[in-house]
Amino acid sequence: MLLVGRYGSPVLHLTAELRDQMLAHAHRGLPLEACGLFAGDADGTVHRFYPTDNEAHSSKLYTVPARDFLRSERDAEDRGWQLLGVMHSHTHTDAYPSPTDVAQAPDPEWHYVIVSLRDDQPSLRSYRIVGGEITEERVAVGSQR
């Protein structure tokens, strides 16, 4: 039996198209980290990816611009969704939250997707970060539920 904790679904549900959008955005951002927001249903089903600029202009950290955050949040709310989390890329390290990622995790209910471009094949993983504790969650890629 799978138990769902107070912070929502232990699974992030993406279509192959949304996953591919995240991977393509990560590649377009090179040599800098790329970032974006995603929205959907509270059960962890993602319906839209919002690519954003990286205001930090850095290969080691990211900042989603406030204007992009507001634009994404308004669009999601207009569609009856909520922002579920943030995606960013790691250009030369594993798809695992860095100490900076953990310190800057703004919302314990969010999903934190990291795309690693370190290897020939990109890696996409998702985490929950609550009180500094990192928990990896499964990413289910398939058709929309």
pLDDT tens per residue across span 22-42: 999 999 999 999 999 999 999
pLDDT of residue 3: 31
Residue from 95, 113, 108 nearest 46 by CA: 113
> What domains are there in the chain, each with its CATH number?
11-139 (3.40.140.10)
Whole-number Å distance between alpha carbons of 108 and 131: 7
pLDDT of residue 144: 57
Give this prediction's pTM.
0.90
Residue from 19, 2, 23 nearest 11 by CA: 2
| String of DSSP letters for 56-97 | T--SS-----HHHHHHHHHHHHHTT-EEEEEEEEESSS-SS-
Please name the residue that has the structure tokens 């290897």: 119
CA-based torsion, 18, 122, 44, 140: positive or negative: positive
Q: Is the pLDDT of residue 10 over 80?
A: no
